[in-house]
């Protein structure tokens, strides 16, 4: 199925997480998307950038926070009372476009240009997973600690966003939610690929093509990766140490 030619809606997740205790002093109930960066919630930077991207139809906010101040900034909002899987499915159920761009709300550096590049140049497939090479990540934010997988083409880290066909997602809910829960951590992806390929990946003896093929076989879907040069599309608030790094970057001249 070709998701490249379809109209796109963006879904932003702003949910409580297992890391809430780490961020309890920085945001209401420790929700990372609401961590203040230079006096402004992280999620507000993301919503603004997505609203500036002409290739997106609408921006849908999915949150378990009933008093979320940034609701008016999105085109639509969905209040959920459940786990990540239920939140994702509620968001997908609210889209009207043929494909979805799912993003975590704690990605304040994602620019409209980085999103447009993904939407315009992503390969055809049921699901597209953006990745970035280590040197590009280090160039943008050298102090950020990130886990990388070594391949024949280089060392890469994954994104907290996914581009996928909305109809496929609703018809294959259990498969989609498995991948969505693993999207932000390449180590969790290894669990979907089986011990053989996981070992090859850890030893740097496999290729991006092998990864795509094995992931497609494991999920019985056409899964593709997109190597982006826009490292800001992959940066989320993973730890409290990231906060001053991201604030510093946001303070740089445009």
Distance CA 133, CA 208 (A): 12
**Secondary structure class of 28 (helix, strand, coil):** helix
In CATH terms, the fold of domain 8-250 is: Spore Coat Polysaccharide Biosynthesis Protein SpsA; Chain A (3.90.550)
Find all residues with CB under 8 Å of 210, minimum gap 6, and list them. Answer: 197, 200
The 10s digit of each residue's pLDDT in 163-188 is 998 888 888 777 777 776 665 555 66
**Secondary structure class of 192 (helix, strand, coil):** helix
Distance CA 227, CA 233 (A): 11
**Prediction pTM value:** 0.88
Q: What is the chain's pLDDT, residue by residue, as a tens digit (254 residues)?
A: 455 557 899 999 998 876 667 887 888 777 889 999 999 999 999 999 999 999 999 999 999 887 787 888 999 999 998 777 788 888 988 998 889 999 999 999 999 999 999 999 999 999 998 999 999 998 988 888 787 888 889 988 888 888 998 888 888 777 777 776 665 555 666 666 666 666 666 666 788 898 888 888 878 889 899 999 999 998 999 888 999 999 999 988 76
Strands 162-165 vs 99-104: parallel, antiparallel or unpaired: antiparallel
Percent of the chain residues past pLDDT 70, beyond the cut: 86
Residue 248's pLDDT is 92
**Secondary structure class of 102 (helix, strand, coil):** strand
Nearest to 123 by CA among 45, 198, 216: 216
Nearest to 166 by CA among 115, 231, 241, 100: 100
Alpha helices in the chain (DSSP H): 42-51, 84-92, 112-121, 134-140, 166-171, 173-182, 186-193, 195-202, 208-219, 242-250
Token couple for 78: 């969905």
Show me where the domains of the chain are located.
8-250
Count CB atoms within 10 A of the CB of residue 22.
14
Token couple for 183: 């999207």
| Arithmetic mean of pLDDT over the chain | 84
CB distance 41 to 23 below 8 Å:
no
Strands 223-227 vs 149-151: parallel, antiparallel or unpaired: unpaired
Q: Whats the size of the chain, residue-wise?
A: 254
Residue 216's pLDDT is 87
């Amino acid at each position: 199925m070709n998701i490249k030619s379809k109209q796109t809606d963006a879904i932003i997740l702003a949910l409580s997480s297992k890391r809430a205790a780490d961020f309890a002093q920085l945001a209401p109930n420790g929700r990372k998307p609401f961590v203040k960066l230079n006096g402004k919630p992280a999620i507000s930077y993301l919503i603004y950038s997505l609203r500036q991207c002409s290739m997106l139809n609408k921006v849908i906010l999915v949150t378990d926070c009933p008093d979320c101040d940034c609701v008016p900034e999105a085109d639509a909002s969905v209040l959920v009372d459940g786990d990540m899987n239920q939140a994702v499915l509620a968001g997908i159920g609210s889209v009207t476009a043929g494909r979805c761009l799912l993003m975590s709300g704690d990605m304040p550096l994602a620019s409209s240009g980085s999103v447009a590049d993904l939407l315009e140049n992503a390969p055809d497939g049921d699901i597209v997973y953006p990745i970035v090479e280590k040197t590009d990540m280090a160039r943008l934010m050298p102090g950020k600690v990130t886990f990388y997988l070594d391949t024949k083409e280089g060392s890469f880290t994954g994104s907290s966003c996914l581009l996928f066909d909305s109809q496929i997602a609703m018809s294959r809910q259990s498969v989609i939610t498995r991948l969505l829960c693993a999207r932000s951590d390449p180590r969790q992806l290894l669990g979907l690929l089986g011990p053989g390929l996981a070992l090859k990946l850890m030893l740097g003896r496999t290729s991006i093509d092998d990864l795509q093929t094995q992931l497609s076989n494991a999920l019985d879907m056409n899964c593709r990766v997109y190597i982006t040069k826009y490292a800001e599309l992959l940066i989320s608030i993973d730890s409290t140490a990231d906060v001053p790094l991201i604030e510093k970057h946001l303070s740089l001249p445009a």
